[in-house]
Every structure is written in structure tokens, then in C-alpha cells.
Amino acid sequence: MKTFPMLQEVEGFLAQRQGLRIGAKHVDTKKTLHVINPSSGELLTSVACASENEIDLAVGVARQAFHSGPWGCMGPDQRSRIIWRLADLIEKNAAIFGQLDALDNGKPVAIARDVDAIYSARHFRYFAGWPDKIEGSTIPVNIPDRLNYTKVQPLGVCGLITPWNYPLLMASWKLAPALAAGNTVILKPSEETPLSVLYLADLALEAGFPEGVLNVTPGYGHEAGNALALHHDVDKVGFTGSTQTGRKIVKASIGNLKKVSLELGGKAANIIFEDAHLESAISGSFWANFSNNGQSCTAGSRLYVHSKIHEKVTEGLIKLANSLKMGAGMEDPGNDLGPVISESQMKRIFGFLERAKDEGAEVLAGGVKDERDGWFVPPTIVGNVSDEMEIARQEVFGPVLSVLSFEDDADVLKRANNSDFGLAAGLWSRDISRVRRIADSLLAGTVWVNCWGETDAASPFGGFKQSGYGREMGREAISLYSQTKSVWIA
């Protein structure tokens, strides 16, 4: 197997034990996070691991930077320039970010570089335009001789907790609006993928962020994550992860009633109507589920196909599944898919498949562990699935697509909406009346029509139902990280 040559900077980064980034310091800890390469199952490197004490230290530093540092009194133009410079630096170092995420997460290096890193840079660039547009208003109040106006102000210290599926990108989705709104932050990345965001913290200092504004503290969820969610001096927790952990965050937040926003799991329904353009519906629906190896909160993992075209669509999906190239993140030339994140996740996925078979489902493609080292699960298509089965109701978060059949619009809409989740949904049809009717009625924060997976820093993103609350992008993300003050002057 040929692999991309590792960049010198990446080699150097991995060779050195990385400390937490608190203020301008690299802080080492007694505890260690062992970072595993999912493409081989081998140890990649070890980094410092935050516990309650280090979280407390980081919160103190972030508080100090919020109240007394230059960040708070900086003009919006200067804040914009710093955020813009960070976007430039991410773009300039996209190859390094690409390799760090490919090694740490397993995703193909070209995707990590050209999608994750470049979209992260775009995200910072979009939010760099916000600081001088965060306006209040003058309110025409009824009391005479009073001036009433509003000011939109930052919340203070924000704890940001992120998952492993897009290590750099999910962090950027939170960091960019939180910083543009003027907060200071402590980012707690997933224990599985701490590397790219540690590197990001170094670039943030180079971009000109004052010390203590952007802190990064890798650690375990039940320790470092929980300490952040509990901390009395944290004003807000922005969380992306599973619905189960989201509940724990809400519970932990009640001590000081900190603000919480949640981007949680999904079980997206994707519907192919009989009038769809079949070729694009088949490949679009395939990638709706399998991009990022099915490890996406928006994965279209419940595919409803009209009975008239069910056989043809299923055949097309199987053909695509069997033709994909799967391999290590750093393999050259690049692959379509990498491994899943960990051995436990791989076992969890096969557990879902075993139970689905026991319930009467049929594995039509994939479903068997690949022989090579590392945590490889081939793209798996499951047929004969009914709505009640576990595999149609719970988030698998891996390369597994369930195919179901339907007869009419009202029936499929009811079934699509019969889920605890509501993050994303989609449909394929050429009938504009049907498109509008169904898109309006799907209970999901994002609906894609004749496409899937598009996001943009300017367009709001978030969940209905148990997929969370708050919207991460666009102007709504600024509201998520700020608060409005009403001022009365006699």
C-alpha cells in the first residue's frame, strides 16, 4: 500500500507530546490521552488529558481574558481582522490539517484537506464579517422623555464541546460565531480526535488572538466535558454530540443555569418518489448516507423508496456499495471511504446488523468485517426493513443504509415523521407541488430536495425534536452566543 508522504510539520507535531492550550501556555498533565490511528489500530501519539483541575484553570484564564484582556475593549474591525487572519492561516495550512484529521479520524486525506479544512476556513471568513454588524436598536417606547435602546453583548466564557466525526469543522462551526460575538472560549474536543484543534490553537495565537481567548483542553467527556458543563463560571455550553450526552449536559448546566445549545443526533428520512430523476436520486441517496462513512448527524440512513421503483433503486445502491474503494486515510491515491472511528464503534455497528438480521432484515451488500487491520466496515445496504426495527429507529452512525418501501405520499410522510429525531430529511421528485407540500411538512431542521448534505456558514443549521435546540450558522449563530440588554435613559 502506497501512502502520502507525511509532512515534516505533521511528523514534528506527532513526535512531541502535545500539552493543553491554556492562555499562551502548553500545559502538560499527569493523565494521558492515547490517540489511536483507526486505519491501523495503532498508537499514533499521546497528548495531555484535562481533568477538573485543568478545566478550572482554563476557565479562570478565559474569564480573565474576557474581563481584563485586550479582547473585550477591542474595536469590531480589529476582531474581524484577527478572525479573518485565522481563516487565511487555516487555508494556508490546509494540507497539515488534512493529514492530522486523516491520521486521527481515518477519513481520506484529500477530503480532510479540501472539505473539512477549506470549509472551516470559509466558516471563519463568514463570521469575520459579523463583529461590526452586531447591532442593537432604538425602541419607540410609550413613556415620555425616555430613551430606550438595546445593546447586543457577548455572553462571557463559553465552553464548547465537540465530537470526532469532523474534528476541525465541528469545532470551527462553534468557535467562529462565539469569537465573532466577542466571547472567550474553552474548546473540549472529542477524546478520539484532539490533534487538529490543538494545532488550530497555535495558529490562533499567530493570527493575533490575545492570550486566553481561545483555549483547547482535550480530555474525556465524563471528566473534562462534565467539569465544563458543571462549572459555575462558565456562561454557556455549546454542544455537538449524541442525544444521550446532550441530556447529561442539560442536567449538569442547571447549577448556574448556564445557557445551553445542542446539536444532537439524527435518523434522517430520505424519500425517493416514483417521478424522481432516478440516476441522480440513486447516487444522491447513496452519498446522503455514506459520505463521511455514515458518521454524519445528517446521514440519510432511512431511505423510503416508492414500491414502483424499489427494485431498480436497490439494485443501483448495491452496485455502488460494491464498487467503492475503502482504505487508510493516508493511502495514495485516495479512497472513497476510510475506517470507522474506533474498535468499539465498529463492534457497535456489527451489533446493530446482527440484531437487524434477527428481526428479519436482510443484508444486501457489505455487512462483514474487512480483513485488513484497522476498523473497517464496508458500505452496507440492508433490505426488508420495517419502521419498528431498531435499525430504522436508532442512529447507527456508520456505513449502514436501511431501505424501506412505500405506496403513497400521506403514508410516507407520516412514517418519515415518526421519529424521535428531527435534524435533517430529504426528498427526490420532479413535481413542484409535491416538493413544496412534503418539504413544508417534514419535521426536520434542514430539508434537502434533489440534493443532500449542503451547508453554508450563512444558512441556519440545527434540529427539531430530540436533535437539539439552537441554530448554529448564519445570523442565528450570533444570537446563540450573545445576549440583549435594554437601556433606559431619563
* Minimal distance, residue 221 CB to ligand NAD, in Å: 2
Distance linking the first and last C-alpha atoms of the chain: 76
In the list 112, 264, 377, 403, the residue contacting ligand NAD (rule: CB under 6 A) is: 264
80 binds ligand NAD (CB under 6 A): no
446 binds ligand NAD (CB under 6 A): no
In the list 182, 241, 294, 366, the residue contacting ligand NAD (rule: CB under 6 A) is: 241
SS3 assignment, position 476? helix
473 binds ligand NAD (CB under 6 A): no
Neighbours of 25 (CB within 10 A): 14
Q: From the candidates 191, 263, 395, 472, which is the catalytic residue? A: 263
Q: Which is nearer to ligand NAD, 154 or 463 (CB)?
A: 463
What DSSP string runs through 178-206? HHHTT-EEEEE--TT--HHHHHHHHHHHH
Q: Which is nearer to ligand NAD, 245 or 380 (CB)?
A: 245
| Contact stretch for ligand NAD (CB under 6 A) within 200-208, 225-233, 330-338, 429-437 | 225-233
Binding mask 394-413 for ligand NAD (x = CB under 6 A): -x-x----------------
> Could you tell me which residues come within 8 angstroms of residue 150 by beta carbon, excluding any fewer than 6 positions away?
136, 137, 139, 484, 485, 486, 487
451 is catalytic: no
In the list 101, 191, 331, 409, the residue contacting ligand NAD (rule: CB under 6 A) is: 191
Q: Tell me which amino acid residue 91 is.
A: E
What DSSP string runs through 267-309? --EEEE-TTS-HHHHHHHHHHHHHGGGG-STT---EEEEETTT
169 binds ligand NAD (CB under 6 A): no
Residue 377, C-alpha cell as written in the block: 466496515
297 is catalytic: yes
Residue 196, C-alpha cell as written in the block: 487538529
In the list 36, 214, 249, 412, the residue contacting ligand NAD (rule: CB under 6 A) is: 249
Q: From the candidates 49, 158, 223, 297, which is the catalytic residue? A: 297
* Minimal distance, residue 377 CB to ligand NAD, in Å: 15
- Could you tell me if 190 and 164 are in contact, meaning their C-beta atoms sit under 8 angstroms apart? yes
Task: Look at residues 274, 297, 294, 270 and name the one whose alpha carbon lies nearest to residue 284.
Answer: 270
270 binds ligand NAD (CB under 6 A): no
In the list 54, 101, 263, 409, the residue contacting ligand NAD (rule: CB under 6 A) is: 263
Residue 382, C-alpha cell as written in the block: 440492508
- Could you tell me if 414 and 385 are in contact, meaning their C-beta atoms sit under 8 angstroms apart? no
Task: Look at residues 221, 232, 216, 270 and name the one whose alpha carbon lies nearest to residue 419.
Answer: 270
- Could you tell me if 136 and 150 are in contact, meaning their C-beta atoms sit under 8 angstroms apart? yes
* Minimal distance, residue 295 CB to ligand NAD, in Å: 7
* Minimal distance, residue 242 CB to ligand NAD, in Å: 3
* Minimal distance, residue 75 CB to ligand NAD, in Å: 32
* Minimal distance, residue 408 CB to ligand NAD, in Å: 30
What residues does 149 pair with on adjacent strands? 138, 487
164 binds ligand NAD (CB under 6 A): yes
Please tell me the number of Cα atoms within 13 Å of 144 on its side-chain side. 0
Neighbours of 302 (CB within 10 A): 26
* Minimal distance, residue 107 CB to ligand NAD, in Å: 13
- Could you tell me if 44 and 104 are in contact, meaning their C-beta atoms sit under 8 angstroms apart? yes
Residues engaged in binding ligand NAD (CB under 6 A)? 161-165, 170, 188, 190-191, 221-222, 225-226, 229, 240-242, 245, 248-249, 263-266, 297, 395, 397, 423, 463, 468
Q: Give the residue numbers marked as catalytic.
A: 263, 297
